[in-house]
Amino acid sequence: MNFPSLRSRDLDAGNPIFRVVTLFLYTTLLLHLALVFFRLHQPLSTISLAALGALMVLFCAAFVRFGWPELIKRDAGLVLAELTVALLVVVAFTVQNALPAHPLPWLIGLAGVFPLMLRGRVALAVITLVAAIGFGLNAGVGTLLDHSLPQMLTTLFVGLLSILLSRALRDNALAMAEAHATNRRFDAIARATRHVFMITDGDFKLKYANPALQYVIGHLPEELIAQTIDPVIHPDDITRYRRQLTVLRATPGGQMFSRHRAQHRNGQWVWLEMRGYNLLDDAAFDGMVFSIEDVSARKDAEHKLVEEHALLRAVLDLNPAMIYAKDNDGRFTISNLSFQQRFGYRSEEEIRGKTSYELFSTLAVNGRQRDAFQMADQLHQQDLDVIASGAALEDQEIHGLWGSDAQRWFSSNKYPLRDERGAVLGVLGIARDITERKEYEMRLEHQALHDALTGLPNRRYLSKLLVDAIETIRTRPSAYVLLFCDLDFFKNVNDTHGHDFGDKCLLELTRRITADLPPTDFVARFGGDEFVILAKVDLLEAITKANALLTLLSAPLIIDAVVVKIPVSIGIAMLQPQHRTPSDVIRDADAAMYQAKERGRSRVEIFDLTLQNSATKRAQMDVALRFAQERNELAIAYQPKVSLRDGTLTGFELLLRWNSPQYGNISPTEFIPIAEASGLVAPIGLWALAQACKQLKVWQQDYPLQTNLTIAVNVSMRQLLHESFLSEVGAILERTGASPQSIELEITETSAMASPLQTIENLTLLKQRGFRLALDDFGTGYSSLAYLQKLPIDVLKIDQAFVKGLGSNDGDSEIVRLILALAKTLNLDTVAEGVESAGHVAQLLGIGCYCGQGYFFSAPVNAADATGMLASDRRFHLT
């Protein structure tokens, strides 16, 4: 707010002394002139009086129009007054010059008035001029010097005294005006502000308060005049408040600050901040001055801020992640408890202001200096990247020295901190200890790439290395060999001694394989009883290595005081440029290994083009076999089973035939293994069983006298152990109406021992349904007598390999005798396979075997020829 400057004439016009003196001067002068008027005859005096009269008329008109107060306050009135006084001076001196009167009163009057209208040097010059004129006039009328000089000095003295008085009056008027303006300004401010201003006496009783008091505590200032505000102070704060007032009163010129609660008139408690000043020694106040501000909102905000800060600190400190912030200079500004503890600090203050290098320097002990500073440098560089780019840096997995313990894994996320204008102020870092997760992932990866029992790399790991090896031989000359080792009959070891025993055997074999393994060799457990070695050697070295391995692994094992010998078949395949995938190499080595098995087991075979062609043909036949059934390429043949006593027909064995347009007539010994490997044996076997049941039903209806007629059907172990096999067999019986007592299901001895417990369970269920059960190719497997006793079988079929040796091989004859003795002991029927001569018939009869089948009686025939045999009630020759 702008206040106008004060002019001297305004101050003079408003001065009461000026008004009184001016009025007195004008009045006496007019009276004097009125008396002189009748004595004047000179024209100049008449004209002067006329001019004076005109001015007086104008003065009176202004007085009537504006009134006396307005006239002396307005510029026009002052100008008029000044002109009047000036003219009066001229007229007065004219008159005085014409009249024999004494001018001293008027001179003194003029000398006293002019300083009130003029200032400084001007006023002094005018006074001097008035005194000089008076002196001259007195001299002109013959006044003596003794009288003129005192009059002049008197006039000068009065003028100088008037100058001093007018200066004092103007200074006082100016001060009063300034004080008045200040009071008005203070009053305006006091009324406009929400701050309370109070003045109290020495006993803190209210003398003055601005209207804001009502806003703050709800009381009008008039209500509290001559009272203290103690009654509204909170009881919990009143003692401290009074103690502060006491100290304030005892300290002249002292100050106080208090924050306390006061009760508003509406009953609510408000927070006040009071500042007090002891001005008892100041005459202008003679009391205490207080400034009071309602800080309830700020107090609430502070309380909320404190709560939020406490909550934020709790969130930070309870968070297991390490959280910190840095400024653009890379110095820490914030850190949570986890971060502090990680580096061995007890508070945030100990870390604040440090850099990463200073922080990690505390870890640079016990030879870990390099690790510590590498971590510090890595983190600092990341901070600079975030500050420079303004972009977050997330999911950075860092392995290094964090804290006082060993190196650990952390996941680091860093975000730029920005001000309200978007400028980057620093970096916020969040680091989570993921060591357990990483170790778990590494364990999972190790488990995914290694065998749980032996700890050796597994098939997946081998495939990864084979990919690299294949790529290597494509880019530069290299020699890699894959040795595929398969433990022969290892399943029998498990079935006989248990899986724990088998695991111990595998561990011992693993120890033997890896004991002297060169660093360039890689060994993996490929399957349950399969080991694969990838060696960087040529073929000759590979053969030497394979033979040594064969000798090493075939040596007897002593496990839990039990001696076992496990033969091994090994296939060798060289990595070739034509190998595109790991499967190609494994396929070739696997083919060589199977070649070793087919050639007698416990030997080494090398993959060559012939095996490759055989493997290719095998794969092609697999594809063709998948469509053989729907293309009616599969056929059924029946081989008669004959009583060796009288040559009567006792039944048939159902044999599968595959008449392929591409490969011709394929033997079951060739395509059944393919069906087993591909899983086709289950649907093909069910189809064959259904055909047997249909044919049996027809024969039973057409030849009711053939009450002992049976049909034997081969069942693979894959079929037998399939979860739906029993239900599917039941469905076939229901659909065909065949009698299960006339169906003889054959399983091989080797298959029966593959999973003895499950085999016994399923065979028992089949037995309960009424099926006859036969153990085929008996004598070629490794069945245990203990398990054989548990098998619910009805028939033992002697393998043709032993029958062919009857009469020419004493060992085979003895084996047959033992089988027959065993069958008799177990009360089982026997059937000899491969009877090809009358001599076989005679010898079999001689040792107690009464049923046989073979080409001596008949080759396998179709259903029509088999029906003809039944129709003619054919008897076969025995000699």
d(CA 22, CA 28): 10
Query: Could you state, in order of their start, the residue ranges of all structural domains in the chain?
Result: 8-184, 193-301, 319-439, 450-607, 634-871
**193-301 and 450-607 share one fold:** no
d(CA 657, CA 638): 10
Neighbours of 21 (CB within 10 A): 16
The residue assigned the tokens 């390490």 is 322
Q: Give residue 433's Cα distance to chain centre.
A: 12
In this predicted structure, what is the pLDDT of residue 48? 44
Token readout for 850 is: 């009464």
Domain 193-301 sits in CATH at 3.30.450.20
In this predicted structure, what is the pLDDT of residue 75? 42
Neighbours of 277 (CB within 10 A): 18
Predicted confidence (pLDDT) per residue in 452-487, tens digit: 999 999 999 999 999 999 988 888 878 899 999 999
The residue assigned the tokens 């100049």 is 44
Cα torsion angle, 805, 807, 812, 815, sign: positive
In the chain, the amino acid numbered 194 is R
Name the β-bridge partners of 428. Answer: 325, 415
Name the β-bridge partners of 396. Answer: 412
Cα torsion angle, 96, 99, 103, 106, sign: negative
d(CA 418, CA 427): 9
Pick from 856, 824, 852: which is nearest to 838 by CA? 856
d(CA 332, CA 322): 13
CATH topology for the 634-871 domain: TIM Barrel (3.20.20)
d(CA 434, CA 560): 44
Pick from 258, 185, 195: which is nearest to 209 by CA? 195
d(CA 522, CA 536): 9
Name the β-bridge partners of 274. Answer: 258, 292
Neighbours of 335 (CB within 10 A): 27
Token readout for 782 is: 């490794």
Token readout for 801 is: 């390999």
Residues in the chain: 879
Name the β-bridge partners of 714. Answer: 746
Predicted confidence (pLDDT) per residue in 97-125, tens digit: 444 445 555 555 555 555 555 556 666 66
Q: What residues in the chain have per-residue pLDDT under 50?
A: 1-24, 26, 28-45, 47-49, 51-52, 55, 59, 62-63, 66-79, 81-83, 86, 89-90, 93-101, 141-144, 782
Domain 319-439, CATH among 3.30.1330.50, 3.30.450.20, 3.40.50.1110, 1.10.10.10: 3.30.450.20
d(CA 325, CA 824): 90
Q: Give residue 228's Cα distance to chain centre.
A: 61
Are the beta carbons of 245 and 276 closer than 8 angstroms? yes
54 exposed, middle or buried (CB, 10 Å; 0-12, 13-18, 19+)? exposed
Which residues are within 8 A (CB) of 55 and not within 5 positions of it... i.e. 6 or more apart?
80, 83, 84, 87
d(CA 257, CA 273): 7
DSSP state of 27: H
Domain 450-607 sits in CATH at 3.30.70.270
d(CA 210, CA 221): 7
SS3 per-residue string spanning 621-685: HHHHHCCCCCCCCEEEEEEEEEECCCCEEEEEEEEEEEEECCCEEECHHHHHHHHHHHCCHHHHH
In this predicted structure, what is the pLDDT of residue 808? 80
In this predicted structure, what is the pLDDT of residue 810? 79
